[in-house]
Amino acid sequence: MAKQLLKWLNRVLNAAIILAILLAMAYSLYSIWDNNSIYAETLSLTTRIRQEKPVGDKPSFEDLLKINEDVCAWITMDGTNIDYPIVQGSDNEEYLNKDVYGEYSLAGSIFLDSRCSRDFEDFDELVYGHHMEKHEMFGDLDLYLEKAFFDQNTTGTLLVPGKKIPVTVVAVMEVDDKDAWVFDPAAADEDPQGFLDYIASDAKYVHSDELEKVKEDTDSRHILTLSTCSSDEEELRTVVITAYQMPEE
């Protein structure tokens, strides 16, 4: 009797183990499918919206504004896949999981901090994007953490209605998500030199000549801060500091 009970228990245990393995495999397959679906959706959206990218030295945002009145700019960083419209919501939560068409999306949108000026006339303009794999959204900001890439890829373009603005990479930083200098644009606006000194002392890599140009002329030069989550630690952020100057009318 005891032997029969032991055999029965062994069968139950084996069945439970097999069931657990099958469930784990099913969950893994679902996770892979779900992850691929997210990126397929993001890629499709990226391809679709890039057809609306403004062109020319005085780009018109008329078509983009018909899609979404919150669109305020377009950012392109050379050498990366960063080539997206920038939106600005009523707060910094609105576009975390909403695409430029106003639909729910885990990838969210590239968005301007709600405290910043949408005409990009503030000294420091702060832009966020999710860290996505496969070069989507702001996933490529991590590339600037490699010295060779940082040295060789220093340019980009900011488009705002009627203006095509060259941007230059100044520095790359890894900071805490509560960093007062980086994530409070008012702090940099009120004390530009203090902010620039902080960049010089705490950045991972700096193009010192470009930083000096900004320090010498904070009245006409601006900082465009690009931020995303780090792939290393949950509370760490990868931040690329770029500079620009508004073209003359």
Measured distance CA(88)–CA(109) in Å, rounded: 9
Distance CA 108, CA 130 (A): 7
Q: Is residue 136 part of a domain?
A: yes
Does residue 43 lie in a domain region? no
Mean pLDDT taken over the chain: 88
Please report whether residue 194 resides in a domain.
yes
The pLDDT, as a whole number, for residue 35 is 47
The answer to whether the CB of 54 falls within 8 A of the CB of 74 is yes
pLDDT, residue 119, reads 96
Residue 41 lies in a domain: no
Residue 67: strand, helix, or coil: helix
Give the tens place of pLDDT for each residue, 198-210: 999 999 999 999 9
CATH classification at residue 172: 2.40.260.10
Buried b (16+ CB within 10 A) or exposed e, 2-41: eeeeeeeeeeeeeeeeeeeeeeeeeeeeeeeeeeeebbee
**Domains: count for the chain:** 1
**Is position 236 within any domain?**
yes
Which residue range is the domain that position 217 belongs to? 62-245
DSSP 204: S
Q: How confident is the model at residue 167 (pLDDT cuts 50, 70, 90)?
A: very high
Q: At 6, is the pLDDT very low, low, confident or very high (cuts 50, 70, 90)?
A: low
Instruction: Determine, yes or no, domain membership for 127.
Output: yes
Question: Does a structural domain hold residue 153?
Answer: yes
Q: What does the alpha-carbon distance between residue 226 and residue 240 come to, in Å, rounded to a whole number? A: 5
90 is a domain residue: yes
Structure tokens at 127: 């832009």
- The predicted-structure confidence for 105-146, as pLDDT tens digits, reads as follows 989 999 999 999 999 999 999 999 999 888 899 999 999 999
pLDDT computed for residue 236 by the predictor: 94
Q: How confident is the model at residue 8 (pLDDT cuts 50, 70, 90)?
A: low
